[in-house]
Chains A and B, each alone.
Chain A
Amino acid sequence: MNVIKISDWVSKALMVLAAAWTIAISFLVLADIIGRGAFDFPIHGTAEMVAASIVIIVFLQTGYAIRSRSMLRADFLVTHLPDIAQRILLALGYILGVLFFLMIITGGWQESVLSFVENEFEGEGALRVPSWPARWTVLLGSALAMINYCVMAYVDVFRPDLMRQEVEEMKQLDMEH
């Protein structure tokens, strides 16, 4: 249970960080437009920074997207099945999720380490952005995604009470929208 609390806290914290980052990006883009339009002085490297930021933002949010049940899925068929079958299929899906993000990590960690050691850069235009922050965030986000898929499998298969409560909370969030 404590593990779940910790991973939930981390997921939420990274999501908030990513949300703040998104706002920062919008101000950067705006500053670039104003700088270019009003003072003929664009902010060099905006495009490069935004591009790298998008990867970082998405993988910072991945864990939370999974945990908050925001990932898109089709539940039209599953809802007609008996409860136990539903939960087994859910678990199966989560295991596939674990495998998917595991493969992203195993396939990418070497390059991520190298990008740091060898000081790899992206872009040859206005600004050269180091590639390691985005690469490492992909690893971090994938690792959290794996943990959260495991948590979801535990909750949905063994703790239906907790699952129902979480689904209700999720609906509440949607209604506020």
Chain B
Amino acid sequence: MFELNIAVILIVSLVALVAIGVHIAVALGMTSALGIWMVTGADINAFHTVQSMLAATAYEAIRAYVFAVIPLFLLMGEFIGRSGTVTDVYRGINQLLSKIPGRLAIATVIGNALFSFVTGVSIASAATFSRIAYPEMKRFGYHKGFALGTVAGSSCLGMLIPPSVLMIVWGILTEQSIGQIFAAGVLPGLLLTTLFVIYVFLRAIMNPGLVGGGAAQPNANDVSDPADTVTTGQFLISLTGIFLVIVAVLGGIWFGVFTPTEGAGAGAFIGLMLAIIKGARLRDIIDGILSVGRTSAPILLLLVTAALYSRTLAMTGMANAIEGVFIGSGMAPWLVITVMVLIWFALGMIIDSISIMLLTAAIFAPIAVKLGIDPIAFAIIGIIAIEAGLYTPPFGLLVYTVKSAIQGFDPDMDVMTIFKSSTPYWIIMLVAMVMIINFPAIATWLPNLLFPS
């Protein structure tokens, strides 16, 4: 069945279409159409087959209960994002840490970690914290690059700590349990948070100039603008809200009370309540709903074309062929993983993380399983590598997100400075990834505990 020339044509056309900026969904769809056409005889009948397969996939691929999890989690994230909870928690942590060196940067990391438990996308975290935390750090005389590196670096936690759109997409693509992947992300997420905090703390002690030391340091509770502080009451409401979401949504999913879709539905409702309690205006809520209307369809459409693409991979025998190349090469497992990670990094320079996952997860995951790697641990390894790829110089996309988020108040900050300062975070992510490869229990311990088979 497998013909090398067909595979080469498909890979070349897919890469070419993506490179010239064709919408990823269209590039995947049209390449798949070409592949199906070629393997079914490359004539007019084959063309009919292609059309009916496209139509059937468009209707069937996402017609399942589980896909509702994506818009519902996005809705939850929007409501909570607009409730002001994040700002409260950031400022609250900040006030609690008043004596600790580098407290603003540490609050950014911890705030990101907490925020990650209630939202699913890291670009949102990067944009939010660029606007809350960066001006604050700048005001206190932090080194600008260090401040932005912290914002960019810690935003990866959004994808690694459940719920996360990347975990949902990975689960759908590789047919693994979303609940288990959610559980698998918790310890690695906390591990990364801890390593980030240690890094910030050490840098702050060794080089106080980075965090505004030496200069007259305003006291945390002594800020000129009262709008910049949070009252204990508001802080507690926000913190309780976040914990309620974590317990109800993740707890519900993990203890088998909810399916992921139900958990997301409940989360969206709690998020709405939180936004109302925190005094969000009706306009904000409607904007949030419309914003999900704008962001969820591109992801779900990608999943439609991904289904088409995975059928094509199977029909053309490409998936098996690539697997054969990796397994048959006799490379040591760690070398195979290294090659995969390098591919992810390379892709991280050109396309977003969900697209990377669509192109690679269905091919890489079976190979990893053949090499004896736990599929759930591999999901976490893959997500860390893909997220780290978003910081890889010179094109890492996340850095550009941070850059454009601060465009308004700091247009002179150049991209290379942000890259340089987020590199330590990138290295820490690699360290965490290598730790999970060597000790997969970091990822699998919690899901094994919660879902004994």
A residues contacting B by CB (< 8 A) are 15-16, 18-20, 22-23, 25-30, 32-33, 37, 47, 50-55, 57-59, 61-62, 64-66, 68, 70-78, 86, 89-90, 92-93, 96-97, 99-100, 103-108, 111, 122, 134-135, 138, 142, 171, 173-177
Q: Which residues of A contact B18 (CB under 8 A)?
A: 73-74
Complex alpha-carbon distance, A30 and B294, angstroms: 23
Asked if A16 and B293 sit within 8 Å, CB to CB, the answer is yes
Q: Which residues of B contact A104 (CB under 8 A)?
A: 51, 54-55, 58
A-B contact count (CB 8 A): 212
Candidate in B18, B21, B25, B350 with the most chain A CB atoms within 10 angstroms: B21
Asked if A15 and B294 sit within 8 Å, CB to CB, the answer is yes
Asked if B405 and A19 sit within 8 Å, CB to CB, the answer is no
Complex alpha-carbon distance, A37 and B258, angstroms: 10
Asked if B293 and A18 sit within 8 Å, CB to CB, the answer is yes
Stretch of B63-71, B191-199, B200-208, B314-322 with 4 or more beta carbons under 8 angstroms from chain A: B63-71
Asked if A55 and B59 sit within 8 Å, CB to CB, the answer is yes
B19 interfacial by beta-carbon distance below 8 Å: yes
Asked if B17 and A96 sit within 8 Å, CB to CB, the answer is yes
Q: Which residues of A contact B48 (CB under 8 A)?
A: 107
- B192 CB → nearest A CB, Å: 24
Stretch of B161-169, B171-179, B298-306 with 4 or more beta carbons under 8 angstroms from chain A: B298-306
Asked if A26 and B265 sit within 8 Å, CB to CB, the answer is yes
Complex alpha-carbon distance, A62 and B300, angstroms: 10
Q: Which residues of B contact A16 (CB under 8 A)?
A: 290, 293
The chain A residue with its CB closest to the CB of B294 is A70
Asked if A19 and B21 sit within 8 Å, CB to CB, the answer is no
Within 8 A of A (CB), among B1-28: 17-27
B351 interfacial by beta-carbon distance below 8 Å: yes
Interface residues on B, range: 35 or more
Q: Which of A29, A72, A92, A100 contacts B54 (CB 8 A)?
A: A100
B50 interfacial by beta-carbon distance below 8 Å: yes
Asked if B64 and A51 sit within 8 Å, CB to CB, the answer is yes
- B175 CB → nearest A CB, Å: 17
Asked if A33 and B266 sit within 8 Å, CB to CB, the answer is yes
- B155 CB → nearest A CB, Å: 14
B261 interfacial by beta-carbon distance below 8 Å: yes
Asked if A177 and B291 sit within 8 Å, CB to CB, the answer is yes
B352 interfacial by beta-carbon distance below 8 Å: yes
B428 interfacial by beta-carbon distance below 8 Å: no
Contacts A64-B294, A107-B55; is A76 near B33 (CB within 8 Å)? Answer: no
Complex alpha-carbon distance, A25 and B55, angstroms: 25
Asked if A33 and B262 sit within 8 Å, CB to CB, the answer is yes
Q: Which residues of A contact B300 (CB under 8 A)?
A: 54, 58
- A175 CB → nearest B CB, Å: 7
Candidate in A33, A61, A73 with the most chain B CB atoms within 10 angstroms: A73
Which secondary structure characterizes the binding site on chain B? Answer: helix
Q: Which residues of A contact B62 (CB under 8 A)?
A: 54-55, 58
Q: Which residues of B contact A92 (CB under 8 A)?
A: 20, 22
Asked if B58 and A23 sit within 8 Å, CB to CB, the answer is no
Asked if B293 and A58 sit within 8 Å, CB to CB, the answer is no
Mask, B243-266, CB within 8 Å of A = 1, is: 000000000000001100110111
Q: Which residues of B contact A90 (CB under 8 A)?
A: 21
The chain B residue with its CB closest to the CB of A85 is B20
Mask, B57-89, CB within 8 Å of A = 1, is: 011001111011001100100000100000000
Complex alpha-carbon distance, A161 and B64, angstroms: 42
Asked if A171 and B404 sit within 8 Å, CB to CB, the answer is yes
Contacts A33-B266, A51-B63, A96-B26; is A177 near B127 (CB within 8 Å)? Answer: yes
Q: Which residues of A contact B261 (CB under 8 A)?
A: 29, 50
Q: Which residues of B contact A142 (CB under 8 A)?
A: 58
Asked if B265 and A30 sit within 8 Å, CB to CB, the answer is yes
B140 interfacial by beta-carbon distance below 8 Å: no
- A132 CB → nearest B CB, Å: 11
Asked if B304 and A73 sit within 8 Å, CB to CB, the answer is no
Q: Which residues of A contact B289 (CB under 8 A)?
A: 19-20, 22-23
Give 22 CB contacts A-B under 8 Å.
A16-B293, A25-B265, A26-B264, A55-B59, A58-B304, A64-B294, A70-B294, A70-B298, A72-B302, A72-B352, A72-B354, A72-B355, A73-B351, A74-B21, A74-B350, A75-B21, A90-B21, A97-B26, A100-B30, A103-B50, A103-B55, A104-B51
Q: Which residues of A contact B217 (CB under 8 A)?
A: none
Mask, B352-364, CB within 8 Å of A = 1, is: 1011000000000
Asked if B266 and A93 sit within 8 Å, CB to CB, the answer is no
Asked if A54 and B68 sit within 8 Å, CB to CB, the answer is yes
Asked if B22 and A96 sit within 8 Å, CB to CB, the answer is yes
Q: Which residues of B contact A28 (CB under 8 A)?
A: 265
Asked if A65 and B294 sit within 8 Å, CB to CB, the answer is yes
Q: Which residues of B contact A57 (CB under 8 A)?
A: 71, 296-297
- A90 CB → nearest B CB, Å: 7
B349 interfacial by beta-carbon distance below 8 Å: yes
